[in-house]
Amino acid sequence: MDEEQVLILDFGSQYTRLIAKTVRELEVYCQVIPAQSSVEQLRRQAPRGLILSGGPASVYEKDAPRLDPALYDLKIPILAICYGLQRVAADRGGQVVRGRGGEYGLSTLQLAGPDPLFEGLGDDEPVWMSHGDRVELLPLDYRSLARSSGVPYAAIRSADGLIYGLQFHPEVAQTPKGQTILANWLRTICGLRGRWQPGETLEQRIGALRRQLDGRRALIAFSGGVDSTAAAALTQRAIGSQLLPVFVDSGLLRQGDRRHAEQVAARLGLRLQVVEAQERFFAALRGLSDPEEKRKAVGKAFIRAFEAAAHRLEQRQGPIDILVQGTIYSDVIESAGASGARRIKSHHNVGGLPAEMGLEIVEPLRDLFKDEVRQLALSLGLPAEIVWEQPFPGPGLAVRILGPVTPERVALLRQADAILREEIKRAKLDRVIWQYFAVLLPGRSVAIRGDGRGYGEIVALRAVSSREGMTADWYPLPYKTLARISSRLTNELDQITRVVYDITAKPPATIEWE
């Protein structure tokens, strides 16, 4: 254990591990522990600072998560973020109320004056907010350091300078000076030097995987995207030809995805097994409109497809008892696989695997965010076009078709998506934008057909910037590009008669529509 340790007390925020990631990037060792941990437990770890995370609860709810009250007597610096700040305010005699409509997305931080925590910040800095409740009344010995467009207490400090509270999230990419604030807190307020180095090198990761797999044969769910390709390249380094990659053609893929996966596999020298499972997936989705039901149906269809592939391979090659998946950390946390976090959506590849499946699941990237996976992919020597490819969700086009998913609607969306991708590439924005795609909306809209009236399909365009997918902002596509996409969609695809542009951030929206 490093002597310079910071503990993060987790109230269940989606962003808790992002706090940990940022602290580690600032070369300070940290650990995430449950917010309810006792003070004796904290003392044993001798932290030099405590960070209280955000969380989905409201402090005035009966079962709202609390802290051991003795924590306030520890006399070590505390940085309380979002719910953490509200917890401190309520515990120290202030008042927290439900805000009018909440504050989600970009806001401006207006500093009341200089403070060591805000060294290097301007008077008006963009910050990212995501809260419904707000502090109405400060505890007596606290003062406000900054206001935002929405709240008077966007940053607060106790009189003795030991406790700071931030209503905004310094850990997300949309708070551009967030890392500076965290660095100020670690260096100036906690007095830490920051000499810690991340331990796990590529070779150590490969070694750990080699020991875990112990020469056993393993299937890998391979899609050709950066996550599963990095997982495959890593596992191949651990067990070589014992790795058997399986590509499931769900019928929910984009134009060119299957060919791309075949090419990537060939490049890695992997013999890809392709499972034709289109009918299985469409049958599983028939009649479903609810987003969670659709996600679950796709998840189950994947499992069944892998079972069938495993069975066939076993007859040729002997027993297989492992399935390697390229699940990454945001998949885990948004599916509430991390303790305390609330479920945002069930990811196709997380949790709920039926016991009878009989395959042990190995997820070598489970602790990494997307940007860390890309770093790993680079160190594995994967080519840039794979490393920087935009993410594509496992349930594929099924979560981009609102309402029922039919082969006809998938075919239409596939064409629309291909046009959008072509135009983004033509505008040379394909490496700039984190993710861009088309969505098919439910219902129809009035259209002019010849001289008469008709009804056509509505397509929404989504383009977002992000660092790791946990938060995102809508990307301002140039009008010229939007105009080209819109006219190509309506001219080349008869059924499409209306095109709209999604201008919501995450939060409050998510990147995908379902």
Per-residue DSSP letter, 142? E
Cα–Cα dist 304/302, whole Å: 5
Residue with smaller CB distance to ligand XMP, 274 or 344: 344
Cα–Cα dist 10/53, whole Å: 5
Residue with smaller CB distance to ligand XMP, 49 or 469: 469
Looking at 82-90, 253-261, 315-323, 506-514, which segment touches ligand XMP (CB under 6 A)? Answer: 506-514
Cα–Cα dist 183/208, whole Å: 32
Least distance to ligand XMP, CB of residue 397, Å = 12
Cα–Cα dist 71/84, whole Å: 13
Q: Which of 147, 345, 400, 421 binds ligand XMP (CB under 6 A)?
A: 345
From residue 378 to residue 417, the character string flagging contacts with ligand XMP as x (rule: CB under 6 A) and all else as - is -------------x-xxx----------------------
Residue 54, C-beta contacts closer than 8 angstroms, at least 6 positions apart: 11, 13, 15, 16, 81, 82, 83, 84, 130, 131, 169
- Strands 473-474 and 78-81, bridge-based pairing: unpaired
Residue with smaller CB distance to ligand XMP, 205 or 348: 348
Residue with smaller CB distance to ligand XMP, 170 or 299: 299
Identify the bridge partners of residue 452 per DSSP, sorted by sequence position.
449
Helix (H) or strand (E) holding 467: none
Least distance to ligand XMP, CB of residue 217, Å = 24
Residue 435 makes contact with ligand XMP by CB under 6 A: yes
Residue 280 makes contact with ligand XMP by CB under 6 A: no
Identify the bridge partners of residue 97 per DSSP, sorted by sequence position.
134
Annotate 60-91 with DSSP letters as a single string. TSTT-----GGGGGS-S-EEEETHHHHHHHHH
Looking at 119-127, 341-349, 376-384, 410-418, which segment touches ligand XMP (CB under 6 A)? Answer: 341-349
Residue 510 makes contact with ligand XMP by CB under 6 A: yes
Looking at 20-28, 172-180, 330-338, 361-369, which segment touches ligand XMP (CB under 6 A)? Answer: 330-338
Cα–Cα dist 431/290, whole Å: 33
Looking at 245-253, 281-289, 346-354, 490-498, which segment touches ligand XMP (CB under 6 A)? Answer: 346-354
Cα–Cα dist 362/346, whole Å: 19
Residue 229 makes contact with ligand XMP by CB under 6 A: no
Residue with smaller CB distance to ligand XMP, 53 or 435: 435
Residue 337 makes contact with ligand XMP by CB under 6 A: no
Residue with smaller CB distance to ligand XMP, 171 or 331: 331
Q: Indicate the SS3 state at residue 463.
A: strand
Residue with smaller CB distance to ligand XMP, 275 or 344: 344
Residue with smaller CB distance to ligand XMP, 275 or 493: 275
Q: Side chain identity at 219, as an amino acid letter?
A: L
Q: Which of 4, 125, 257, 334 binds ligand XMP (CB under 6 A)?
A: 334
Cβ pair 368, 321 in contact under 8 A: no
Structure tokens at 194: 């920051």
- Give CA angle at 223 (221, 227), nearest 5°: 85
Cβ pair 373, 227 in contact under 8 A: yes
Q: Which of 344, 359, 441, 482 binds ligand XMP (CB under 6 A)?
A: 344
Residue 17 makes contact with ligand XMP by CB under 6 A: no
Q: Which of 331, 363, 417, 457 binds ligand XMP (CB under 6 A)?
A: 331
Least distance to ligand XMP, CB of residue 344, Å = 6
Residue 469 makes contact with ligand XMP by CB under 6 A: yes
Looking at 43-51, 149-157, 256-264, 328-336, which segment touches ligand XMP (CB under 6 A)? Answer: 328-336
Least distance to ligand XMP, CB of residue 350, Å = 8
Least distance to ligand XMP, CB of residue 175, Å = 18
Residue 29, C-beta contacts closer than 8 angstroms, at least 6 positions apart: 1, 2, 4, 5, 6, 196
Q: Indicate the SS3 state at residue 473.
A: strand
Count of Cβ atoms closer than 10 Å to residue 288 Cβ: 18
Least distance to ligand XMP, CB of residue 220, Å = 15
> Which residues are identified as catalytic?
82, 169, 171
Q: Which of 280, 348, 400, 421 binds ligand XMP (CB under 6 A)?
A: 348
Least distance to ligand XMP, CB of residue 20, Å = 19
Rounded to the nearest 5 percent, the helix, strand and coil shares of the chain are: 35, 25, 40
Looking at 180-188, 239-247, 345-353, 449-457, which segment touches ligand XMP (CB under 6 A)? Answer: 345-353
**Helix locations, 165-270, DSSP H:** 178-184, 202-213, 226-239, 257-268
Cα first-last separation, the chain: 42
CA neighbor of 2 nearest in space, from 42, 39, 43, 31: 31
CA neighbor of 246 nearest in space, from 268, 270, 227, 213: 270
Residue with smaller CB distance to ligand XMP, 455 or 501: 501
Binding residues for ligand XMP, rule CB under 6 A, total 18
Cα–Cα dist 343/49, whole Å: 29
Q: Which residues of this protein are in contact with ligand XMP, per CB under 6 A?
A: 330-331, 334, 344-345, 347-349, 391, 393-395, 435, 469, 506, 510-512
